[in-house]
Structure 1
Amino acid sequence: MIRNTLEHAQAVRRMHQIGIVNLLRPGRLLRAAVHNARLGPQAALIMKAAAEHPDAPAVTDDRGTLTYRELDEQSNALAHALHGLGLPDRSVVAVLARDHRGLLLAISATARARLRLALMNTGLAKQQLIEVAAREKVRVVLYDSEFADVVDGLPATVSRYLTLGAGGPSIDELIAAHPRTPLPLPDRPGGFIILTSGTTGLPKGAPRTKVSPLASALIADRIPFPRRGAVVIASPLFHSTGFGAWTVGLSLANHAVLMRRFSAESILRAIAEHRAEMLVAVPTMLTRILALGPEVIGRYDTSSLRTVFVAGSPLAPELTNRFQDIFGDVVHNVYGSTEVAVASVATPDEARRAPGTVGRPPVTVHVALFDADGRRVTAPGEIARVFVRTGIPFEGYTDGRHKQVIDGYMATGDRGHFDAEGLLFIDGRDDDMIISGGENVYPLEVENLLAERDDVLEAAVIGVDDPEFGTRLRAFVVPTGASARDPEEIRDHVRANLARFKVPRDVVFLDELPRNPTGKLIRRDLPTGPLPAGQGEQVRRYGNSGT
């Protein structure tokens, strides 16, 4: 109890230092706390920013810019419309939209209308959406017109409104037809549901009913956010990375610059145009930016950039170094998950000093390692299961399942180790570990090694059935334009740097790796069956086909 009180006090102090709260204005602080407790953080923070900075830009998208006053008033109007549907409190409203003002309005308005929001992954197939909507008991869906075919599979009892595009009733029409005055505050927040990435099957629902006001400190403690500055959010808002960064940005009255579709050059253009101080992205986006080459990158003035918030999938040390060599020491590598939020952050100097580290936990967060028998592992370099205790406790999945918990620490599903300085390293997923010839291999180690090569854009390694070893390693390589596409050269590189049993028997060249909209590798979509032309020299021909 005493420890928790001290940690909370430390978190409040950090929030004051960062500018998220002002302890010298207790009246404002109390009002914001009441709104957060009854609305949830996103709607409450929009109201706060609208009261304090009404004419400041809140969001810029393909349609232009909304100020905080406009975002607040339009949220109220949409809330009136949704409340007028007569749904019971905390009924679930799903939103299936790319990053634009319609998504922000849906997030804010549902909270004000006493409803619960489910953020749907834009990569969901029709059948997946049907199953997720049924599991979450969705009553209304707000969606972009490009997803009309996906939404079409939902029951006729689910009401539908467009967040963008034509072809049906829209939230723009609802906003225009309703008053912009605020609704009475609900007794308690409706909360929201974020879906897991679904890389191993149907995405699970991770609910957040009541979010602690200290959550912003957890994200911003080790990541420098601007105050009333521009932030380019390239990571999808339906995922916890973009969603969390946007939420912290609201508390600092930042200007969110959103893009419906990813384009590496568009990101550079947006940074230059808005003098953005922060970029929120996933690792593959950094890869694509660097792939533009020095001539294209040099066309844009990105000198305003102070922070790159990267999360969502493993960040290769080589990618961090190459990016920082061009853009400066700005990369903050965030390790976490939908369930635990932020577990640790590697600052730019930590990444330089200890390549591959995911850093240290932020305020109120603790990371521990446990072996298979539940015993604590503390020795530097010893690999074990990663568990996290956080100030934002996980409520369990909406299907009733839960993560394993030991002594208040929850499993992340990863394996990792600490170095002698206490910096955390992630060695791979529990379920990604490959046992080949009786030896344990973590694909991430081989993937990071391959990514260091100048002729490799990115790489993935999986295990496939082998009659002699039980499982053998198969490497999938996305080559650069200068690549010789020589499998033996790839194998020789691994053989020269790692143990013999870590050398991939198969090497397959691909144009791109299968990834979901948040940039996570979908290993199950990589071919595990026999290669069309066998191994050795024949693999080279298979690789050159580009399949």
Structure 2
Amino acid sequence: MPAQHFLTKITDTVGAVRVMNRAGLVPFPRVDQGVRSILAVRKYGPFAGPVHANAEAGLDAVALIDERGPLTYTDIEEQSNALVRAWQADGITPGSVMGCMCRNHRGLVLTMLAAAKNGTKLVLMNTGFARPQLVDVAAREQVQAFVYDDEFHAVAEALPDEVLTYRSWAEDDSTSQVGTLDDVMEGRDRSSLPAPSTQGGFVLLTSGTTGTPKGAPRGHTSPLASAQFLDRVPLRRGQTMMMAAPAFHGTGVSQFALALALGQTVVMHRKFDPENTIRLVEKHRCDTLVVVPTMLQRIIDLGPETLAKYDTSSLKIIFAAGSALSPDLCKRTTAAFGDVLHNLYGSTEVAVATVATPADLALAPGTAGRAPVTCHVELYDESGQRITEPETVGRIFVASGLSFSGYTDGRDKERINGLLSTGDVGHFDRNGLLFVDGRDDDMIVSGGENVYPLEVENLLADREDVLEAAVIGVEDSEFGHRLRAFVVAGPGSAKDADELKAHVKSNLARYKVPREVIFIEELPRNATGKLLRRVLIEMDVTES
């Protein structure tokens, strides 16, 4: 091992331990508590391990609140033990593969815990899947059992007959003959389980804005890796977290795992509603709100009068991740909630790259921030040469203890010097803050000039009469491609396309001005809030 690499590992480890101590995961001088948790993680993994440790330690706290009410750490520990025994009776053994298509509620949580304790690999399906996507992913990942919400029954019916199926719980209007998790847990032994003979782990799916999503496996990782999230975000023991982001995606599952490790209470609601989310923050005095940016946009768009109806003074952290945050949304969030916004930049494959704190966002709204402890970010040009000059755009590569080792189908993303490609391009400013300029494959070449849509989109969204904007390239006989902007107008907007074009022309280079501006009611997004540019490209605008 090269000396410099060895020194980096030592520095990362020392920094991670310091961060974990500050957050309360390694509580000096009570190191026995930290050791107990680490041993439990080695036994059951990073999700079920902390729950087991907290329950064994007699933690008198509510772990989860959903629409059915509260569950303590002892409740979810014992219920997940019973679920494991039920599955084992049905022939679901360590090393098997289970799929799960659930929204945020106890059924998803218990499935996650039980899969880990059983050594079952859990494939977290996107709740936006149609039948063909589910069938394709289930076949590729060799799914043998499947847990789903009643609302996805028609989708789940497309699975082969040999796949064992379970409903997460019975809806009032359900007439399905498929058993529920409550049914199979009833009467089962709830005592502690031995460690599984093989480790389970998760398979997270890429956002899937085009085609069938790829699978990114996550096995057992070092407990020190959690320091990536805790270094720049002040999550602490005993807080209450409102989990609005979908827990089947990397943002939700990572923050939920951290909350459980810290003995927090997590509030969930199956379907996101912006006003109900703020109401739940007030009701449960939540310290943290976890969202994807499109959720945050909808909350802010409620307007000052609606937001003022709820007491959100308990909020210390709004944690946003999953896609880019515009400078306008950063400023509006700060105006509404104060200096609480934290913006995480990463991907399903690399996990954490950088985190922007409220101080970073005050200095430079829209920034992705800086790399936390154990993370390293570098920029490379097309020839693989490292870029060190500020303000120079390059491809973003990341080294992280939580990065994946390759897709489940054997493919991988590009790697340079041990760092993994994010698929994005960006630049560092002179303060060392990272800015993401867009997806590498979103670049539009118009008249021989390179245009990244995000710059134009942020400029348009910064206007008071624009809620959101998206820019695509469409074929053009003269320029190769021309820019087309789709705009969601704000209240009182004149919907004047020429005015918006003139605004871009007065602030950016001429070749970045959209030739067309199309006003639409909302931008197409998937279940995790990612913009579906493909839908915009295929959209018939002749009647718009």
- With the length of structure 2 as denominator, give the TM-score of the two structures: 0.96
Contact 1:82-1:110 at 8 Å conserved across structures: no
Deviation at 1:226, TM superposition (A): 3.5
Establish whether residue 379 from structure 1 lines up as the match of residue 384 from structure 2. no
Whole-angstrom distance in 2 between the partners of 1:230 and 1:529: 42
> Which amino acid counterpart does residue 374 of structure 2 have in structure 1?
T
Q: Which residue matches 1:11? A: 16
Q: Deviations over 1:434-458 (max 9, x none)?
A: 0000000000000000101111110
Q: Is 1:264–2:274 an aligned residue pair?
A: yes
Q: Which residue does the alignment assign to 2:441?
A: 431
**Which consecutive unaligned segments of at least 5 residues does structure 1 have?**
533-541
The alignment status of 1:99 with 2:109, answered yes or no, reads no
Deviation at 1:185, TM superposition (A): 1.1
- Which letter maps to 2:66? D
How many aligned residue pairs are there?
Answer: 534
Query: Partner letter of residue 363 of structure 2?
Result: R
| Secondary structure, counterpart of 1:138 in structure 2 | coil
In 2, distance between residues paired with 1:177 and 1:171?
Answer: 12
Correspondence for 1:537: none
Q: In structure 2, what is the equivalent of residue 232 of structure 1?
A: 242
- Tell which deviates more after alignment, 331-340 or 220-229: 220-229
Pick from 382, 404, 415 the counterpart of residue 425 of structure 2.
415
> What secondary structure, in the 3-state scheme, does the structure 2 residue paired with 1:178 have?
coil
Q: Give me the whole-angstrom Cα distance separating, in 2, the residues matched to 1:201 and 1:45.
A: 36
CA-to-partner distance for each residue in 1:104-129, whole Å, 9 max, x for gaps? 00000011112111111101110000
Q: What's the counterpart of residue 330 of structure 2?
A: 320
Deviation track 1:466-497 (CA, whole Å, cap 9, x = no partner) reads: 11111000000011231111111111111111
For residue 146 of structure 1, what is the aligned residue in structure 2? 151
Q: Per-residue CA shift, 1:128-150, capped at 9, x if unaligned? A: 00000000000000000100000
Q: Which residue of 1 aligns with 2:92?
A: 87
Partners of 1:171 and 1:530 in 2: how far apart?
45
Shift of 1:10: 1.5
Aligned-residue Cα RMSD (Å) equals 1.3
Shift of 1:391: 1.5
Conserved 8 A contact 2:468-2:489: yes
SS in 2 for 1:47: helix
Deviation at 1:401, TM superposition (A): 0.4
- Cα distance change, pair 143–31 in 1 and its aligned pair in 2 (3 A): same
Question: CA-to-partner distance for each residue in 1:288-334, whole Å, 9 max, x for gaps?
Answer: 11221222111100000110000011100111111101210110011
Pick closer, same or farther for the CA change 1:112–1:382 going to 2, 3 Å: same
1:402 and 2:420 correspond: no
Q: Indicate the residue corresponding to 2:513 in structure 1.
A: 503
**Aligned residue identity for 2:136:** E
Q: Distance in 2 between matches of 1:3 and 1:343?
A: 17
User: Does the alignment pair 1:41 with 2:46?
Assistant: yes
Q: Is the 8 A contact 2:24 2:236 kept in 1?
A: no
Call closer, same or farther: CA 1:149–1:465 in 2, change over 3 Å: same
Q: Does structure 2 conserve the Cα–Cα contact (< 8 Å) formed by 1:447 and 1:461? A: yes
| Residues in 2 aligned to 1:120 and 1:76: alpha-carbon distance in whole angstroms | 23
Q: Is the 8 A contact 1:310 1:333 kept in 2?
A: yes
Aligned match of 1:538: none
1:160 equivalent to 2:171? Answer no
Structure 2 match to 1:483: 493
Is the Cα–Cα contact under 8 Å of residues 226 and 278 in structure 1 kept in the other structure? no
Task: Tell me which of 31, 35, 39 is aligned to 1:30.
Answer: 35
Q: CA deviation at 1:2?
A: 3.3
Q: CA deviation at 1:175?
A: 1.5
Q: Is the 8 A contact 1:76 1:180 kept in 2?
A: yes
Question: Per the alignment, in what secondary structure is the counterpart of residue 82 of structure 2?
Answer: helix
Structure 1 residue runs of 4+, over 4 Å off? none
Q: 1:188 deviation in Å?
A: 4.1
Q: Give the secondary-structure state (helix, strand or coil) at the position aligned to 1:214.
A: helix
Q: Deviations over 1:408-461 (max 9, x none)?
A: 111000000011111111101000000000000000000000101111110100
> Do the aligned partners of residues 530 and 63 (structure 1) sit closer, same or farther apart at CA in structure 2, a change above 3 Å counting?
closer
Map Cα deviations across residues 232-291 of structure 1 (whole Å, 9 max, x no partner): 011100000011111111111111000111111011101100010110001111211122
**Structure 2 residue aligned with 1:535:** none
Whole-Å separation in 2 of the counterparts to 1:233 and 1:432: 30
Q: Secondary structure at the match of 2:144?
A: strand
Residue 339 of structure 1 is aligned with which of 346, 349, 355?
349
Match status 1:298 vs 2:308: yes
Contact 1:427 1:444 in 2 (8 A): yes
What's the secondary structure of 1:142's corresponding residue?
Answer: strand
CA distance in 2, matches of 1:405, 1:235: 29
Contact 1:222–1:362 (Cα < 8 Å) also in 2: yes
How far off its partner does 1:352 sit?
1.1
Which residue of 1 is the match for residue 63 of structure 2? 58
1:77 corresponds to which of 74, 82, 88: 82
> Structure 1: how far apart are the matches of 2:82 and 2:505?
63
Letter in 2 for 1:217: A
Distance 1:97 1:446, change over 3 A: same
2:233 to 223, 228, 247: 223
> 1:13 Cα shift?
1.6
- SS for the counterpart of 1:27 is helix
Secondary structure of the 1:360 match is: coil
Q: Deviations over 1:3-43 (max 9, x none)?
A: 21231121012101111222433433333222212311110
Q: Distance in 1 between matches of 2:208 and 2:119?
A: 28
- CA drift of 1:349 comes to 1.1
Q: What's the secondary structure of 2:450's corresponding residue?
A: strand
Secondary structure of the corresponding residue to residue 368 of structure 2: strand
- Percent identical pairs in the alignment equals 51
Preserved contact between residue 352 and residue 402 of structure 2 (Cα < 8 Å): no
The residue number in structure 2 matching 1:243 is 253
Residue 510 of structure 1 aligns to which amino acid in structure 2?
I
TM-score (norm 1): 0.96
State whether residues 221 and 363 of structure 1, in contact with CA within 8 Å, keep that contact through their aligned partners in structure 2: yes
Name the amino acid aligned to 2:130. A
Whether contact under 8 Å (2:94, 2:197) holds in the other structure is no
3-state DSSP of counterpart to 1:342: strand
Matched residue, 1:115:
120
CA distance in 2, matches of 1:210, 1:27: 22
Alpha carbons 1:15, 1:21 under 8 Å: kept: yes
Counterpart CA distance in 1 for 2:430 and 2:45 is: 40
2:483 is the counterpart of 1:473: yes
Taking a change above 3 Å as real, the CA distance of residues 306 and 406 of structure 1, as seen in their structure-2 partners, is same
Aligned to 2:184: 174
The residue type equivalent to 1:172 in the other structure is D
**In structure 1, what is the Cα distance between the partners aligned to 2:274 and 2:399?**
36
Offset of residue 530 of structure 1:
6.6
* Equivalent-residue separation in structure 2 for 1:178 and 1:462 (angstroms): 55
